[in-house]
A and B are shown apart, each in its own frame.
Chain A
Amino acid sequence: MSALTEAQIDVSTPRRRTRSITLRIGAVLVGIIVILAIVSLFWVPFDPADTSGGRLEGPGSEHWLGTDKLGRDLATQIMIGARIALTVGLGAVAISAVLGIAIGLVAAFAVSWVDDTISAGLDILIAFPTLLLAMLIVAAQGASLGSAILSIGIAMSAIVARLTRVVAKRVLAQQYITAARTSGTSWWGIVWRHVLPNIWPTVSVSLALHFGLAVLAESSLSYLGLGAPPPNASWGRLLQEAQGTVLTAPVGALAPGIALVMLVLGVNFIADGLRDIADPTRRRSR
């Protein structure tokens, strides 16, 4: 970090400092999981299908976190699980961002009856909890990582769309939009140059929070056997497999859960930090 930014932090208020600490803790927690996931692309301690280890071994020098009931290395599975969790989070957030922002913008720009129709449709979709919608889609499409990501992304896109619509309407009521319109800026130019930059601070915080929700939803689906099928080592499935052997091999039931909480908590901290940067007026009330 450069000397200039250090100085800037020093002149800020004490409250602001604690906030930026939240952001840093979040970055560290998420960073650990991201590093695990990136390393797992090039190297893992054992082959994930290697069952040569003893069954339900405790942590040791060879198997750092021990083995599961088939003799597979737990550390390896958790590293691959990190990759799956990040894929799900990024994939679901990307789907909900593209769909949600597009639908929200259309509703914000459209004539009132189109806006009302879209909004009513969104309210119906939002009334469905994410997990029920995901189960419905998985029931129809069959369990796979792709359908888990798709279903969670679609379920969340309704919430993103409603938020985008509200924030975009507020931006569209500003005088600089009228000025842009009268000076002949195209519809697309207004969206790209004025609306998107102004709604992004609010929408990005919501997307960060949805990252955590997506990871949690996928782990529930995997736990229920409706997520990525084996050999994908999703943390939810690891926990489901370790549940029966929690007394003999407690690490197996603890480590994937701790990794999951680290990731979700870290992302939520980052979202909190981002919100304070985007909207300084909220800081006083927290």
Chain B
Amino acid sequence: MTSYVLRRLLFLLLSLAAAMVVLFFLLRLLPGNAANALLPLDATPEQIAAAEAALGTDRPLWQQFFEWAGQMARLDLGESFISQLPVLPEIAVRLQVTVPLTLMSFVIAALLSVGIGFVAGYRADRWYGTALSGFSQLGVAVPVFWVGILLVWVFALGLGWLPSGGFPRRDWAYPGAALTALILPVATIVIVMSASMSRYVRSATIDVLGSDFLRTSRALGATSGEAMLRHGLRNAAVPVIAILGIELATTFLGAVVVESVFTLPGLGTMLLTAIAQHDYPNIQGILFISTVFVLLVGCAADIIQRVVDPRLRTSLSGNR
């Protein structure tokens, strides 16, 4: 197991390095250069040269890359082109909205989908099993922002029970109002995520129910509940953990879209503003932090999966 963890961590570092190369060079392929974003349209060539020297964009790309990678590694994300404020503290403030939104949605959706998926698989022949499968079929075909629009229509504009958007204060000075503001956004993500996650739980349940080891355990005298607890859960958990890891990352990015529906001042709206303003330090900073998060979650899911199922330890990641 130790050797597996070491190999997986090495793979994590390699993927991070690869991701940084992509991040750096993709944003450098832009039409026009970073200096243009800082200067007025009628800037003289001397002004442009001075700005390039100040930003360091007149040096060879590989030099720029290693300096940039070093700064990223020290979490020095630079300063915004537009507001001149350091990027990292701004991201930290925004995460006070995005992280609670992501975690609440994920935990509720995970619990719901385990319930829904298990019943849909265990009682696949009953009407409610079929109804639950139908819900998950529909849920994966619905765009998350449309669910948000419909919920706002019914519960905010129609019934007036909840706010249609906005967030009181990002430092959670009014926790009650902050939680109220998050109810509809969380519900939006939960509806879509629980539908897609429950499909995996359902097929894992069906696979386990049809397995030889469960039948053997029953033949040796265990009740169906005992057999499920002792052998079924552990086996069904393996594919589900892998999916949960991917889905936590997806929830985080779903939050980007949902924040925009409910005008929440989170990381997603910051990214959209940065893209609209060509604010490259902000874009890079946000994408760097998101990438680190996604890769860490993937690594954690892989390791937990191999704690549960030692048979997987010879393979490095995913389905390999």
Is A223 in contact with B275, judged by CB distance below 8 angstroms?
no
Classify chain A: how many residues form its interface, as a range: 35 or more
Q: Distance (Å) between the CB of A52 and the closest chain B CB?
A: 27
Cα–Cα distance between A286 and B30 once the two chains are bound (Å): 48
A 214-247 contacts with B by CB, 8 A: 216, 219-220, 223-226, 236, 239-240, 242-243, 246-247
Other-chain residue from B11, B143, B157, B206 in contact with A219 (beta carbon distance below 8 A): B143
* Chain B facing A: main interface SS: helix
A 99-150 contacts with B by CB, 8 A: 119-121, 123-124, 126-129, 131-132, 135-142
Q: Distance (Å) between the CB of B31 and the closest chain A CB?
A: 7
Cα–Cα distance between A285 and B205 once the two chains are bound (Å): 10
Is B15 in contact with A261, judged by CB distance below 8 angstroms?
no
Is B272 in contact with A124, judged by CB distance below 8 angstroms?
no
Is A131 in contact with B26, judged by CB distance below 8 angstroms?
no
Cα–Cα distance between A257 and B320 once the two chains are bound (Å): 38
Is B257 in contact with A224, judged by CB distance below 8 angstroms?
yes
Nearest CB in chain B to that of A223: its residue? B145
| Residues from chain B with Cβ under 8 Å of A128 in the complex | 19, 291, 294
* A166 within 8 Å of B (CB atoms): yes
Q: Distance (Å) between the CB of A93 and the closest chain B CB?
A: 16
* B298 within 8 Å of A (CB atoms): yes
Is A131 in contact with B253, judged by CB distance below 8 angstroms?
yes
> With A123-B15, A127-B294, A136-B23 in contact, do A260 and B143 touch (Cβ < 8 Å)?
yes
> With A121-B18, A124-B19, A216-B143 in contact, do A285 and B206 touch (Cβ < 8 Å)?
yes
* Chain A facing B: main interface SS: helix
* B250 within 8 Å of A (CB atoms): yes
Is A264 in contact with B276, judged by CB distance below 8 angstroms?
no
Q: Distance (Å) between the CB of B106 and the closest chain A CB?
A: 14
Q: What is the size, in residues, of chain B's interface with A at 8 Å between Cβ atoms?
A: 56
| Residues from chain A with Cβ under 8 Å of B298 in the complex | 127
* B96 within 8 Å of A (CB atoms): no
| Residues from chain A with Cβ under 8 Å of B146 in the complex | 239, 257, 260-261
Cα–Cα distance between A131 and B23 once the two chains are bound (Å): 15
| Residues from chain B with Cβ under 8 Å of A253 in the complex | 149-150, 153
Is B141 in contact with A261, judged by CB distance below 8 angstroms?
yes
Q: Distance (Å) between the CB of B70 and the closest chain A CB?
A: 21
| Residues from chain B with Cβ under 8 Å of A247 in the complex | 153, 157-158
Cα–Cα distance between A9 and B72 once the two chains are bound (Å): 62
Additional pairs, 7, CB under 8 Å, beyond known A132-B287, A223-B257, A226-B272: A123-B316, A126-B318, A132-B294, A139-B275, A220-B144, A220-B145, A247-B153
Q: Which residues of A contact B (CB under 8 A)?
A: 119-121, 123-124, 126-129, 131-132, 135-142, 162, 166, 212, 216, 219-220, 223-226, 236, 239-240, 242-243, 246-247, 250, 253, 257, 260-261, 264-265, 268, 285-286
Can you sample 9 A-B contacts with CB below 8 Å?
A: A128-B19, A129-B250, A132-B287, A132-B290, A137-B26, A141-B29, A224-B260, A246-B152, A268-B137
